[in-house]
Amino acid sequence: MFFKKLDELADLNSSRFHAIESHKMLFAWIVAVVAIVVLGYCFHGQNIVFSGIAEADETIISMPEAVEVVKIHVIPGQEVKAGDTLVELARPALAVRMNELQRELDAIEGRGNINSASIDQKVAEVQSDLNMRRNTINLEIEKLNTQYQQNQALSSKLKSISGSVKADSNSGILLSIRNLKKELRVAEANAASQIRLLRGSKGLEKTSNKAEIEALHREMEMIKRQIDEQTIVAKENWIVASVDVRDGEKVSSFNPIITLTHKEVTLVRGYINEKIVARLEVGDAVEVISNSGEHMMGAILGMSSRIVPFPIRLLKMVDMPLYGREVTIRVPQGNRLLLGERVSIAEKTKIPQIFKESVMQGDEK
């Protein structure tokens, strides 16, 4: 009995001991996490703050071929709406080529009409020759038939003529008639063959001309579209940022003609020292602060891979240039930033990576 109570007391003490150990482990875990956070923030350092300039999306109007400016319809600072004409351009080579194609088309159609008329004339000549030949043969056959009938009548009256002589005379006439009919059939077959060949060549020529005409029409349609594209029309609402040419000026391929921008700020171009650029990544959230104190969230769209000079406006001392990386940041619509305004950009606080890994390991446990 005494030993049984001792065992119960020992079990109770053991349970209390394990409970105390569990609390110690929990406390140690909390202390470790706090230490990791403190060390992480010490390692991470202060948040990055750098400067930038508020800008808007731009589009530059240029042409892939050299053009001549006919008329400019806008001026810098003007607001344009979708459908407004911006500039009229011209490519003289397109008009020259269009005239050449039209002349080729007229020549093919005219040549086709002449050839068609010539073939029709040849067919008519073949038919005329056949008719003349048919009339001549029919006339000869008719004469032979008349002679055959006369011989028949004469032979019936002259009983003294032998039957063999009569048969030879009549058979010669009948043979001549058969030969003439055969000659007529051959002439008709030859004429039909010639007419068939002539009409076939007419069809082939029409098919060939049709293919050439269709090819010319396709090229003319393409050139017409290119000519229509010389009149540049706004696809959406813009503000004219700059006009880089004058009426009558010749512009080389891909040279800017007009630069368009949006009315409100859509992005911020920030500049950061290359020593701390590794702290930022594409997609990171940042805070943009205007001169008036307005705060707004932004997101990093891109980071330049080359070192670029800071704009003069961002330099504290003009005679001491700075260099770094360019960071493009998207800001929300409806913001009250001014185009060209200098703004401050602050890095949003990040959880250190070591802390993230520790939290994940704790969740797994």
Q: Report the CATH number at residue 245.
A: 2.40.50.100
Domain presence at residue 309: no
The total domain count for the chain is 2
Q: Given 209, 242, 259, which residue is the final one in a domain? A: 259
> What's the confidence (pLDDT) of residue 173?
77
Same-domain pairing of 128 and 253: no
Same-domain pairing of 109 and 220: yes
Same-domain pairing of 220 and 187: yes
Same-domain pairing of 182 and 250: no
Same-domain pairing of 117 and 131: yes
> What's the confidence (pLDDT) of residue 158?
65
Same-domain pairing of 71 and 177: no
Phi first, then psi: what are they for 335, rounded to 5°? -75, 165
Same-domain pairing of 117 and 144: yes
Domain presence at residue 173: yes
Structural domain including 146 reads 91-159+166-227
Domain presence at residue 302: no
CB 337 within 8 A of CB 54: yes
pLDDT along the chain (365 residues), means of 10: 51 54 64 56 62 90 92 94 93 86 79 68 82 86 81 68 52 80 83 78 66 85 89 92 92 93 90 86 90 90 90 87 92 87 82 39 40
As a whole number of angstroms, the distance between CA 263 and CA 335 comes to 11
Q: Given 212, 240, 259, which residue is the final one in a domain? A: 259
Same-domain pairing of 114 and 146: yes
Same-domain pairing of 114 and 186: yes
Same-domain pairing of 175 and 193: yes
Domain presence at residue 13: no
As a whole number of angstroms, the distance between CA 17 and CA 4 comes to 20
Same-domain pairing of 153 and 243: no
Domain presence at residue 329: no
Distances (CA, A) of 83 to 46, 110, 142, 231, 237: 50, 42, 85, 11, 9
Domain presence at residue 20: no
> What's the confidence (pLDDT) of residue 353?
43
> What's the confidence (pLDDT) of residue 245?
93
Domain presence at residue 138: yes
> What's the confidence (pLDDT) of residue 28?
64
Domain presence at residue 322: no
- Would the CA dihedral through 56, 57, 63, 69 be positive or negative? negative
> What's the confidence (pLDDT) of residue 360?
34
Same-domain pairing of 222 and 95: yes
